[in-house]
Structure 1
Amino acid sequence: MNSLRTHFVFACENDYLTIRCPTGTLISIQNANYGRRVPSTDMCPLPWTSLGTRSDSLILSENINCRAADSLQIITDRCEDTSDCRIEVKTSLFNMDPCPTTHKYLDVSYKCRPHQFTKVETCEDKHMNVYCKEENQVVAIYNAHFGRLLPGSMECPSYSMHELECQTDDALAQMMQRCHGRRHCAVKAGSKIFGDPCPEDTHKYLIVLYSCGKSHLMVVVFNTRVCYFSS
């Protein structure tokens, strides 16, 4: 999921928070907090009184280190795997008031993940093709393994006397660098790119999990730089 852009939304206490993903994607909640972590001068200022003033006593008693313990679970239960979610931000939703004298807010970070994934597997020293059929879609790499996983592979059987599990640490990073954010790429499943994490006589293979989606939903990594697509 690191290949998807993270969105951030918030709403003040007694307002409504809307979380929405484009058609063909679903909400994946990353974090949620009901309470307060920054002063009211920076986010969700105190509401005005009937006299048109704000209470100095409430400002002095403001707690900027409070959080409802079940914030993440409650928002996940309500919004995960939907495409549109609207929440009224109120204390009763969270079953507790983490800071009674403080004007609170709800902030949520989330991603929009595609409905479907494609799994491809290629034996050692052969080329893997990763591609999207639609012209307006690009590849989003989710996971990758190079080596050998138990209980093994029917497509790439090993004739070693010792069946074991071994895999390189940077297969995901290598695949993201070469394929993520592109419509098509071809990668050779070999130790020159991925290293050799297994004993000499082990027949290895490359497994990649990816999806195709609109580029504005994704983050692409080139070397150590992270760039956001804008369209």
Structure 2
Amino acid sequence: RVPTTASAVMHNHYWYLFRIGTGVIKIRSANYGRTNGYTCSAGVPAEQRTNVWCNQPEAYSILSQRCDGSQYCELNVGPEQFPDPCANTFKYLNTSYSCLHADTSVTCEHEVGELNCAGVIKVFRATYGRRDGTTCTSGRPPRQLVNVNCFHSLSTFAVVISSCNGKNSCSLTTSHPSFSDPCYGTYKYLEVTYGCYPCHIVLIE
């Protein structure tokens, strides 16, 4: 069984998940709000800790989209990330997560990549765009590398899992029509984080 780690972080504090070895994050549960009177209570007035039925139902979805399949995750715990489920209550993010073994494949724009497994493929994360200035840079002018906040995640992820999940190999081309251009003029790449599993556990979440 994959071990699970729990974490609680106060409102308006930075929260980090660090990778373990070469693994990636898998969020198991998450709530932003308050479910007891003692967590993150130091220095907090009693009247801001009395509502213990404060839940943000979108917290799991928000956190999964942000962190799943990544080697690390960083965000500020506050209203910028999570809609406020209960005014005048001092809230915290309570989450549990696992670290799963994974590999990463990078395919530069206009090229074809391939994933291969002895078992079957389970895709954790897929993005198309550019998130740094060092990947897929050979022969490219600086102006094509400067935008590092350029990527599509959800539509790319759907295409890649449809092409690869449950198979022992798959080919990926960045010319796929579903990979719409998230930033014209930037040289992009497809980055896929995946694991290889025996057939009988490929669908484990």
TM-score, L = length of structure 2? 0.50
The normalised TM-score by structure 1 is 0.44
Larger Rg: 1
